[in-house]
Amino acid sequence: MLTGELPFSAIDPLELVHCHIAKIAPAPRSLQPEIPEAISAIVMKLLAKTAEDRYQSADGLRFDLETCLAQLQASGNISDFTAGNADRAGQLLIPQKLYGRETEVAALLAAFNRVSGVENKTDSHAGVELILVSGYSGIGKSCLVNEVQKPIVRQRGYFISGKFDQFKRNIPYASLIQAFQSLIRQLLTESAASIQTWKQKLLAALGTNGKVVTDVIPEVELIIGKQPEVPQLAPTESQNRFNRVFKQFISVFTAKKHPLVVFLDDLQWADSASLKLIELLVTDSESKYLLLIGAYRDNEFSATHPLIQTIENIQKTGAGLSEKISNIVLNPLDLSHVEQLISETLESKNSEKIQLLAELLFNKTQGNPFFLTQLIRTLYQENLLVYDFPSGAWQWDLGHIQAIGITDCNVVELIARNIRKLPLSAQSALKLAACIGNRFNLEVLAIVSEKSQKETALSLWDALQAGLVLPLSNDYKIPLVFEGSETGLSGLQDVRVGYRFLSQKSTAAVCNVVRHPAKEPNLRSNCQFNKKCEKWRPPVPK
């Protein structure tokens, strides 16, 4: 509105994606010098990439705009001031960035450069690699991998991800299907000419076996159209055909101008069919420009796990294949990193006081990032970490924090403690959601809750505000704006509002609230909602 221009100008969709996630837009004042510096700063704060750098409330933005208006009315000019000064006061904002993982991020980027041919500038060195990221639950494996998404997209690579679910191990290829569904949806946003190009490439690669893929990824049919039936085969031959066709399908998206990175989370729950397909992809001599990243919890991993056998099979297949597999082990944060996180969270320059608090929280969490952030939020919610407005600083009592008796063994209980503070309607919605899975959608949750979608969305709102449940897109706002819960949503059948739990620990904590065993494998074994949710689980692919 101020400049007459969009923040970014790009014809290529992939370039536009990169601009939005990584590139800083030009300041309005640089485009229109007559715009006051203060107004330009407000706009740039609204466009900040990380959430903690943006305005945290409408009140903070309104205060700055009213300050500009008052100055304009009084003197006809708007003087410079720091945007957002009145916004952050009293709000606990934990920075959304990685601490102490520089070496690991560099290793992931180096692997991407190798498979994309960037490192050696030749196709002969491009290929496929498998990187395994291991560590204790909550150590930050997913955060580490997601950190490299920006530089990968900057180099015009595709980054897709899927997550294995311990309760969906009977569904083969579930995580891979989830990942490629997101890729197809991304392609469907491109121009008609681009979609036509993808159609030609897919039809050439799949031939008469297109239905093998469209049966498990229905979105592909929106690009290549309805496919003819394929002959019925015995189970073994059918799986071999699927693996062969899916390799051909993947090869369409792996090219020098757009390498492909596939991130598969929670490999400790991977099904045998998915592991076999991963083995075939890594050992295929024709595969290029493909980086597979798998994350797993080493505390839920044994020497007899099928993934170990998969790695051994890859290494036995041929010389040089062992070099295609590498492992990144994530250790807990050092005390210095914990101190840095707390210092930046509390914006304190009192190094001695911060150091004492950091040592206390480090001893309680042993440097586990997820537990550390949950503990800080709990201290804030229980008024053990309080913002003092007169002094403009955070205050705490080490003795009171020491007395709460939280250790690194009961993180599930810590989150359950926060869940019990939610309204009963929110707790009930979370119980049902936990039975559906780590990811769930509003439509299914509303059906098993026997409520309208709007009522169900409102029940989840407190859990969203508390950060226990995260939306998968901005579509979660749609049901909240309609007065008529049924008629208002009748024209939005294509909208699928999705959510996910903050982590598997959150799912476990929900089940703790309903007096389930703390061990995660038993979460649903006695769940009173299990039968109701069972019929809404995804079907097993053919």
Global pTM reads: 0.70
Residue 34 to residue 44: CA distance in whole angstroms: 16
DSSP 208-237: GGHHHHHTT-GGGHHHH----------HHH
Amino acid at 14: L
Instruction: Say what the pLDDT of residue 525 is.
Output: 42
pLDDT band of residue 532 (cuts 50, 70, 90) is: very low
SS in 3 state form for 370-421? HHHHHHHHHHHHCCCEEEECCCCEEEECHHHHHHCCCCCCCHHHHHHHHHCC
pLDDT of 293 higher than 90: yes
Residue 279 to residue 128: CA distance in whole angstroms: 11
- pLDDT tens per residue, range 394-453: 889 888 887 766 654 456 677 777 788 888 988 999 989 888 877 888 888 989 988 888
pLDDT of 3 higher than 90: yes
Range 186-210 average pLDDT: 91
146, 338, 436, 491, 503 from 416: Cα distances, Å: 27, 24, 18, 37, 13
Residue 171 to residue 442: CA distance in whole angstroms: 22
Instruction: Say what the pLDDT of residue 23 is.
Output: 87
Instruction: Say what the pLDDT of residue 383 is.
Output: 85
pLDDT band of residue 494 (cuts 50, 70, 90) is: low
In terms of average pLDDT, the best of 83-87, 339-343, 526-530 is 339-343
- pLDDT tens per residue, range 366-388: 888 988 988 898 888 888 888 87
Residue 302 has, within 13 A of its CA and on its CB side, a CA count of 2
**Contact by Cβ (8 Å): 131, 94:** no
pLDDT of 524 higher than 50: no
Distance of CA 147 to the CA centre of its chain: 10
pLDDT of 117 higher than 50: yes
Residue 270 has, within 13 A of its CA and on its CB side, a CA count of 29
pLDDT band of residue 101 (cuts 50, 70, 90) is: very high
pLDDT of 302 higher than 60: yes
Number of H helices, E strands in the chain: 24, 10
Query: Counting every residue, how long is the chain?
Result: 542
**Contact by Cβ (8 Å): 9, 20:** no
pLDDT band of residue 197 (cuts 50, 70, 90) is: very high
Contacts of 150 (CB under 8 A, 6+ apart): 18, 21, 22
Residue 407 has, within 13 A of its CA and on its CB side, a CA count of 1
- pLDDT tens per residue, range 119-175: 555 555 568 899 999 988 888 898 899 888 888 888 888 899 998 887 777 788 889
DSSP 65-133: HHHHHHHHHHHS------TTTTTSTT------S-SS-HHHHHHHHHHHHHHHTTTTSSGGG--EEEEEE
pLDDT of 540 higher than 80: no
Range 4-30 average pLDDT: 87
Range 32-57 average pLDDT: 89
**Contact by Cβ (8 Å): 109, 328:** no
Instruction: Say what the pLDDT of residue 411 is.
Output: 65
With left for phi above 0 and alpha for psi between -120 and 50, is residue 472 left, alpha or beta? alpha
- Return the higher-pLDDT residue of 240 and 123: 240
59, 268, 271 from 316: Cα distances, Å: 62, 22, 21
Report the DSSP pairing between strands 385-388 and 393-396: antiparallel
Instruction: Say what the pLDDT of residue 507 is.
Output: 65
pLDDT band of residue 495 (cuts 50, 70, 90) is: low
**Contact by Cβ (8 Å): 377, 418:** yes
Range 508-533 average pLDDT: 48
- Return the higher-pLDDT residue of 470 and 197: 197
Amino acid at 174: A
What integer best gives the mean pLDDT of the chain? 82
Bridge partners (DSSP) listed for residue 388: 393
Contacts of 532 (CB under 8 A, 6+ apart): 432, 435, 448
**Contact by Cβ (8 Å): 321, 283:** yes
